[in-house]
Structure 1
Amino acid sequence: MNTTALAQGLTSLHHVLAQVRPAPGAALPELSGTQLRDLATSLLDTFAALRETLSDTTDPRLALELATTAQQLGFEATRMDLVAAERTAATAAHTLAHTELEHLREHPADTTSTPVRACGRACYRNPEELLASWTRTPYWHTHRLILDSMDLVGRKDFTGARVAPR
């Protein structure tokens, strides 16, 4: 990908995000599984192209801009990881049927139908076990991630209302 193609890709991505996102700082509206997967793939491809484009830069200012961008992406990835862990636990994703999980590995989520839950015993005992298998990370890491997400993202008071993180 050359610089012109990267600029055109960024412009079209900016246009798509402007249509999807109503205002800066506002949350994205409800997305379908296909839209989410397409958007994530576009963003990952864009950042990969940006990395490749700047991998041979001789300008130290661009190197520092790339370092800042990488750090900010890392912070956002950590926040996303925590929200995903909290939502995995809150939605009891570990109770999905084996067929539903296998379908998700190959295809985007079909959000027009209800999720298929396991009848009887589920494939995974808890959300931590599912996340460890799904993301191929150690169980101790996903266990800690879910505990942290409950303190940072999913805190609720006795009425069920969300409260600020600890």
Structure 2
Amino acid sequence: MIDPAKTTRNENRTLQFEINSRPVSLPVPPAKRLLDVLRDDLGLTGTKRSCEIGRCGACMVLVDGKPVNSCLAMAYQCEGKSITTIEGLAGEKELDPVQQCFLEEGGYQCGYCTSGMIVSVKALLDGNPSPSDDDIQEALAGNLCRCTGYGSIWRSVRSAAERRRTTT
């Protein structure tokens, strides 16, 4: 792991991790956030830059299967880890069931928060295939939507949970 205390501010270190099931080796300064590496260095712009203080969830990614605000994670903290962005959820020929249900149920409006919502829901359903309303509320507590009023998002989550239960 990169030790930022032993590195000057501008000195790059080679960071190795997995992004969307692909190995990545990248020179990264120790003060660079994961969000900036994903968007600026790797071109993965589905992870949105929004509040930049960890309140909105638009930048949510999975790090070793757990939801993480990429605006709060330093890139060096991801050394050796597996990161999944919204781009990594879909298969080659079909969307992840969560993505498909968001489309079918209208779980988006402007779409800005959608990638973060979907990533959070994916983590929820991976750990709990039959979430209660309280579980859904807790899983989405770190994601804000300023457009939908959440009704269509909740329908999307319930539909995705049902679909996953009936297809596995």
Q: Per residue, is there more strand in 1 or in 2?
A: 2
Larger Rg: 1
- TM-score > 0.5 by shorter chain: no
